[in-house]
Amino acid sequence: MGLDFCSLKEYGSTSMNLPDQRAKSINAAIARRIKELRRKKGLTLQQLAEKTGFAKSYLSQIENLRREPPISTLTKIAYALGEDVLFLITGEKLDEEEERFVIVRPYERRSVIRPGGSPDYIYESITYKKRNRLMDGYILTAGFEFPPNPMLHEGEELVFMLEGKQEVVYDGKSYIVEEGDCFYFDSTKPHYSRSIGPKPAKFLVVFCSKAKGK
């Protein structure tokens, strides 16, 4: 958010390309870890629903691979289960000792494929070392096509454009942003973006779940 990242490529005429297989494998592992952690904590789906604010049926669909939750949803589930979201996605355990000040060097970033997202969007976690954090930060590189589904989740996001230009669609309205621009929004409204111009857009995104921040 290192770990493998699969770029979007064409793989002949097979019914499922490699990125799709990779994404399905990741989603299956996430669902398994959620279920195992929940049972280890002695929680029912109803109890986890009460802790997260999500519907019991929605959590059941996640555990049974019928829904692919965004990172923000996984962050909230992980928080309720006393784990870090990177563990749910990658299986990597953080150091148990809490540190008040952490540094993530460029070579220490963790690259992940966002569950339910397009594999040509690269997420690099820059906050994973801090346990029990209130915010999650990523360096994102956006693809040139809109993701298959818009993002929609609880919380707020801050985005600062580092390189390139992108089209951002928020609640049905389109905006053009480029290097040096910054925007902040309520992420409960549908939103998605794509790179435009000669090179992929790269930007810093920080989001905070109200469940973690209150």
> Quick check: 187 pLDDT over 50?
yes
Tokens of 54: 């999500």
The mean pLDDT value for 65-78 works out to: 86
Angle, to 10 degrees, between the axis of helix 56-63 and the axis of helix 71-80?
100
Q: Which domains does the chain have, with CATH numbers?
A: 18-90 (1.10.260.40), 106-213 (2.60.120.10)
* Residue 22 neighbours by CB distance under 10 Å: 15
Tokens of 98: 């809490």
4-to-43, 92, 200 alpha-carbon distances in Å: 32, 13, 20
0.75 cut: is pTM over it? no
171-183: pLDDT as tens digits? 999 999 999 999 9
> Quick check: 164 pLDDT over 90?
yes
Question: Which of 4-18, 66-80, 103-117 is the most confident on average?
Answer: 66-80
pLDDT recorded at residue 166: 97
pLDDT recorded at residue 6: 30
Of 114-123, 140-149, 156-165, 203-212, the least confident: 114-123
Tell me the pLDDT band of 12, cut-offs 50, 70 and 90.
Answer: very low
Q: Are the C-beta atoms of 71 and 114 separated by less than 8 Å?
A: yes
> Quick check: 2 pLDDT over 60?
no
> Quick check: 115 pLDDT over 70?
no
Of 70-74, 91-95, 167-171, the least confident: 91-95
Of 3-7, 138-142, 163-167, the least confident: 3-7
